[in-house]
Amino acid sequence: MESIRYEHLQETLYYEVMDNGLHVYILPKPGFQKTYATFATKYGSVDNHFQVEGQEEVKVPDGIAHFLEHKMFEEPTGDIFATFASHGASANAFTSFDQTVYLFSATEYVNENIQTLVDFVQNPYFTDQNVEKEKGIIGQEIDMYADNPDWRVYFGLIEAMYQKHPVHIDIAGTVESIRTITKEMLYECYNTFYHPSNMLLFVVGGVDPQEVIDMVRSNQEQKDYKPQGSIQRFFEPEPEQVGEARREAKLAVSLPKCLFGFKETDVGLTGEQLLRRDMTTQLMMDLLFGSSTRLFQKLYDEDLISDSFGHEYNSSPQYAFSAIGGDTKDPDQLLARIREEVDAIVEKGFESPDFERARKKKIGGYLRMLNSPENIAHEFTRQQFRGGDFFNMLPLYESITLEDVNLRLREHIRWDQLAVSLVVSP
Amino acid sequence: MLPTKRFKTFAISLYAGVPLREDTVTKVALTPFVLRRGTESYPETTQFREQLEHLYGAGFGFDVYKRGDYQIVQFRMDTINDSFVGGDEQLLDRSFAFLGEVLTRPAQENGHFRTSYVQAERETVRKKLESIVNDKMRYAAERSIEEMCKNEPYRLHPLGERKDLPGIEPDTLTASYQEWLQQASMDLYVVGDTTLEEVENLVQRHFNVDRTSSSDYQTQAAVRGDKEVETVVERLNVSQGKLNMGLRTSITYGDPQYAAALMYNGILGGYPHSKLFVNVREKESLAYYASSRYDGHKGIATIQSGIEIPNYEKAVTIIKQQLEEMKSGTISDLEMSQTKAMIRNLLKEMQDSAFEMIAYDFNRQLSGKERTAEELLAQVEHISKEDVREAAEQFRLDTIYFLRDEKEE
């Protein structure tokens, strides 16, 4: 077992790589009642075309990673929620573009719960019958999202931007695509992506790191994993340009929803470089669109935006884009005003006092996040899969300069890379 | 206040509660929206928000919600402990100064709130009320409560009523604010690495307000539910049907049967091992979500599920069967032990979150019931199946609400 001390955060992280390749990380939080654990695979909705070294190339239906997540909860002995409940653990899971995460939080029987988490995810049980049954449940989940305007406007933006890359495919797939899923396909995906060498276990809370690591090691030693070659993921080349400049969906809403963003052309970054660019971009967007900016206040006073107006930046080594917007009575007027105001800011760049203040805010937000075991586990895992270090963000924030942010501003705000997504009432 | 070194922040919460009343609900709801626009020292909203960024992006927010028949305005601040940013920045002191000013010294002109702020925030509240329909899960939940409680103040939305907004002028709102400031029940909480002495000192310095006429919360009896079950069907352009049911119960937060009611809800639909999830979702594949919630302050429980529209009758039948099983005490030992373990987990986990600890203590203020989390936990451990069955007799189905599509059958 190794450890890293992060003095500036007063935190120590313990870790070990198991013989079968599983990465295990423990962050003790003395005084915390709760233990929160995530068991994650670097496998999400975008991984629909792949090949394991020495094996056949495989293409799978849309929504299968999410389908697999649902099905993992079923064991020959019944539903795994019941086992967790017997030990007072609240369990859940989620699937994103590039990872699937299983988790629990509990205040007692911590060792038993960690074992349950690891064992159920490492024990797939798919039958023709239980796969069919799940199609009804996921069909209802898909319908629920279809009625949700925030989801529709967000996905509409990605669909407008991305023409080839599977990030534009809804994480749950469609009712039609999931209909074609079979237990054989699920096993194929499972065997590829749930190999321990593609997975990460993170435990945070009032635990003894040595005890947890020893327990996980002995658990893994009892399982007979053969070494697996590297996984190659295939993505069709994505054009630089957005697919459509504007996309519109009809759904009953009190006010139109308008989300716009810029598709990044320079992709391929990984690790700390990617993390640093994310942080710089987020800082830049906060300076441009944050609720304390003059632009935000002007648009609010002009009754073009509301408290719902926000921004985010989403990236991976293959894609990156911003998403900005909210409810507005007049999307065209909002976009015209933003273009006018933003051009003037891009021309001048940001000023030092504003930059320093925005950076302080980001540092504060980061430190606040460290109160939350959930946030720590999720962000750490996400960064680790991309080669970045969540616990090293404070020095990175300190190293970002005004020039970096101004450069990012000019790079990212390119109107030829703009896409707009709207949800309006029929 | 609770001194602790467990967190990297100071958590500050201020609760201001008044009885939920038709003639004041909208004005009270609008007040915090105007207060967050500016203060005497930071009259412009950009200055106000920049000041928060100077405090290392202190989290600042507010909520307006219902608890029993009270309308609660809650302000929250979450400020990092200076020691993590290597300085003596007095962030706790500056945060108190900020919150105190927000509450007691708003930006004014001609003796009342700034007209432009009142106008803009009226619009904001109007848009928020109108946007409820966008989220169908939430819309169905609120509509079912509105139908169920149509003869009580609880039918009111915590943000008030759209029709009131145009009539609220800066002077009337300011007068309402001053009255609210004096009369509302106020509770201020701090959790973090500080002392009672320091906090008392900060309150005296920064919350200078004359509150001679303030009142304590009064406990209210639950409304009896002895009428026929009412069914309401509403049509909107939706893909998925939303089935919401409302139940009345005489068991409220201060009641000796409260722990049994928590168990009742947990076994019925509080968790993924509960009857609703297992039977509606796992056995019948009817829904993605199916759960229940119990509100001890108001004495109601709600059931919510999203279903395929033609499955309405089937879902209602299955849910009613679960309610009958609860009444007849058809509960397994495993359901008992699992639910106890989950409630235990919830009550213990609270200790890891400053704001949840605060929220738990506020229940005590609101209900007048002294009962620590440890005491409640001990009571839950002793609940028997017979206790749950007896509690089940005190839950009565009152309203079935179904939100469905516009197509004719």
From first to last of the 426 residues of chain A, give the pLDDT tens digit. 999 999 888 899 999 999 999 999 999 998 889 999 999 999 999 999 999 999 999 999 999 999 999 999 999 988 899 999 999 999 999 999 999 999 999 999 999 999 999 999 999 999 999 999 999 889 989 988 998 999 999 999 999 999 999 999 999 999 999 999 999 999 999 999 999 999 999 999 999 999 999 999 999 999 999 999 999 999 999 999 999 999 999 998 999 999 999 999 999 999 999 999 999 999 999 999 999 999 999 999 999 999 999 999 999 999 999 999 999 999 999 999 999 999 999 999 999 999 999 998 999 889 888 888 999 999 999 999 999 999 999 999 999 999 999 999 999 999 999 999 999 998
Between positions 241 and 260 of B, the ones with CB within 8 A of A are none
Give the gap in angstroms from C-alpha A242 to the nearest C-alpha of chain B: 28
> What is the spatial distance between Cα A136 and Cα A409, in angstroms, rounded to a whole number?
46
Please give the Cα distance from B62 to B75 (Å, whole number). 4
Binary contact (B80, A149; C-beta < 8 A)? no
Which residues in chain B have Cβ-Cβ distances shorter than 8 Å to A143? Answer: 239-240, 306, 308
Q: What is the ipTM of this complex?
A: 0.84
B50-53, long-range: CB < 8 A, 24+ apart = B50/A292, B50/A357, B51/B98, B52/A292, B52/A361, B52/B98, B53/A292, B53/A357, B53/A358, B53/A360, B53/A361
B360 in reach of chain A (CB within 8 A): no
Torsions phi, psi for B245 (to 5 deg):
-125, 145
Q: Which of A2, A16, A56, A69 is catalytic?
A: A69
With 80 as the cut, is the pLDDT of residue B409 above it?
Answer: no
What number is the average pLDDT over the span B88-105? 90
Predicted pLDDT of residue A180: 96
Is the pLDDT at B86 greater than 80? The verdict is no
Note whether B20 and B153 are within 8 A (CB). Answer: yes
Q: What is the pLDDT of residue B305?
A: 95
Burial class (CB in 10 A: 0-12, 13-18, 19+), B6: middle
Give the pLDDT of residue B6: 80
Mean pLDDT of chain B, nearest integer:
93
The verdict on B272 touching A (C-beta cutoff 8 Å) is: yes
Structure tokens that stand for A284 in this block: 């830049």
Q: Chain A 124-143, CB below 8 Å of chain B: which residues?
A: 133-134, 136-141, 143
Q: Is A75 a catalytic residue?
A: no
Note whether A146 contacts B239, CB cutoff 8 Å: yes
Task: For residue A360, give the nearest of B57, B339, B346 by CB distance.
Answer: B57
Question: Which of the four pLDDT bands, split at 50, 70 and 90, describes residue B85?
Answer: confident
Indicate the pTM of the whole model. Answer: 0.90
From chain A, the residues in CB contact with B377 under 8 A are: none
Encoded amino acid at A391, one letter:
F
Of B113, B114, B120, B101, give the one whose Cα is nearest residue B176: B113
Asked if pLDDT for residue B60 goes beyond 80, the answer is yes
Instruction: Answer yes or no: do A371 and B59 touch at CB < 8 A.
Output: no
- Residue A312 phi, psi (nearest 5): -150, 165
Strand partners, A258: A326, A422
pLDDT at B213 over 70: no
